[in-house]
Amino acid sequence: MDIQNEQLVREFCAAWVRRDIAELLGYFAADAVYHNMPLEPLQGLEAIRATLEMFITPAQSIEFKMLAVASTGNLVFTERVDRFTIFGREVTLPVAGVFEIAAGKIVAWRDYFDMQTWLRQSGMAQ
């Protein structure tokens, strides 16, 4: 267990409430990979920034509620409920996330969730 890695992930998840893209990007290594498992992985800060902008910019509020955290070595596992108010709609999304940490930065972030739950609640379902 690496308490520093867990603390970094806790701080990162808590920072979402401020919806500050520059602050969130500061947690990542330059060549980090962000992978929402239902989608293709993204690599590098510019790709991550573009995706964050797609759902942070239109959001009125965001909160990651941490239910559980566990770690081993450089991996930190989270069970969360991510709450968004986006496009005027409330989204409550259960998520399991895995973070890989190196030198105090997130080098990989993988989130596992049900895409249909996101699409249905956000109003983006077709």
- Domains in the chain with CATH codes: 3-122 (3.10.450.50)
Round to whole Å and give the CA distance between 93 and 80: 8
Residue 1 has pLDDT above 80, yes or no: no
Give the model's confidence band at 17: pLDDT under 50 very low, under 70 low, under 90 confident, else very high. Answer: very high
Structure token digits, residue 78: 């989270």
Active site residue 31: no
Q: Hey, which bits of the chain come out as E strands?
A: 28-36, 42-43, 59-72, 75-86, 89-102, 105-112
How much is the pTM?
Answer: 0.92
Query: Exposed, middle or buried: residue 12 (CB in 10 Å: 0-12, 13-18, 19+)?
Result: buried
The one catalytic residue among 2, 31, 82, 114: 82
For the chain, the 3-state helix, strand and coil shares in percent, each to the nearest 5, are 35, 45, 20
Active site residue 2: no
